[in-house]
Structure 1
Amino acid sequence: MEKERKEEGREEKKEGRGVRVKAGEVFDFLSENPVIPGCTVSGELFGENGYSLISFSLASGTSISAESYDYPKLLYLLKGEIEVFKTDKSRWSLSPGEAFLIREYAPYGVRAGSDSVYLEFNFRKESAMNAVVKAGEVFKLKDLLPYQDGKIVNLDLLDEERMKFVLMSFDEGTGLSEHSAPGEALVFALEGRAVIGYEGREQEISEGESFHFAKNGRHFVKAKGRFKMALLLSLG
């Protein structure tokens, strides 16, 4: 079964919509966007300054036809199995935890081999991703950076005036001391476990779970064992 995705046109990326999940609570995107039999479902979770994050759920056998856009996008699979395809019959299979970068003006579609949930990060037309990420290749976000004894390792996938997309690895016992950020932030736990403190409350986050920090919310992160996460940070 093939369904056309509803156009998420650039004119729809209005300023200031922010993150559409509650701040201060551990959550998972699978619960936020459950699969509906026979259907494809999409919902914007974040939209600001020309960037957006959309969650998709595709029932087994459904698909989104090949489309091209004037901006790059990153697909990140949370559940199931999907096939990314081009009009020239090229195919790439993704399993949970794997990602795929699509360059601007490249027509790609998505087909679900089983009930699947994935995230789509849409960047600005002029956005330049870190060269460690190769368009048209399947990779795991957590494999892009190593651990280092006693240290925190940062890798900026995207570093622009109004948006940062960062990968971080924490050795056991390391962490970020309490601080606040000038914009909203989403944390995606990629591997291991950590304690997140937010406005005086501590919660544990594990691989596959996420957390929303509101603008200026006081928070800290402390690894329980080795821990990797991705951080999407709006800079206002």
Structure 2
Amino acid sequence: MKTLSTIKVPRQTKAILWDMDGVLVDSLSLDLWVVNELLAKCAGKEVTLPRGFIRSIFAFDIPKFWELIFERVKKEFNIPISAIEQKSIVKTYTALRQKSRFPVGAGVESIIEAAKRQGIKNAAVSNNPRQEVEEILERAGILEKFDIVVGNDALSDMKRKPAPDIYLYTLLKLGISSNEAVVIEDSVTGVEAGKRAGCYVIGVASGGTSLEVLQDYSQYCNKAYENF
């Protein structure tokens, strides 16, 4: 193993494959604030979904994220939200994401720079479309630090995490084998995707999943950190 700032990676590592939401940038804070605000505005009364629930679905892409929220609201509060209202909420939420400047995850930049000094490439790999990922990283001031950015629209038939497709595609683009890559994720679906791709997987409890849960998924997660 060799040290990159606050983490250790296998000696043969040639690239770090970073998840974006909850790892590279703190977008969870926006979700925890805005979800209940948008729901209350639509329903005309207070609608409060637990922070734990929002965090548990944080890793999903935007359509699935909101699908699960609307299902929970209908079941728990008996508030049916029409298709038109759902579309409006998702549109407003997406616009907020597109103009927000998310803070960079603690310790992330020092790890990236340490990797660069040792000739290790950095890739941003996200369940979101590539253009959106690039815009978010650019506003955060770290886009130029990455050798490649891969979104869920890289291939028309790409399956979403926990399928390994997006990581296998990234390995192919980088021209490296799975045992030469380290995946850094914050969710169970993410660490599973990385492990199914054959990579060494690091989990960090900075987004969708607690340290205890990541440690419980040791079959997918080689090493878990509370933070960097």
- When normalised by structure 1's length, the TM-score is 0.29
- When normalised by structure 2's length, the TM-score is 0.30
Point out the structure with the larger helix share. Answer: 2
Point out the structure with the larger strand share. Answer: 1
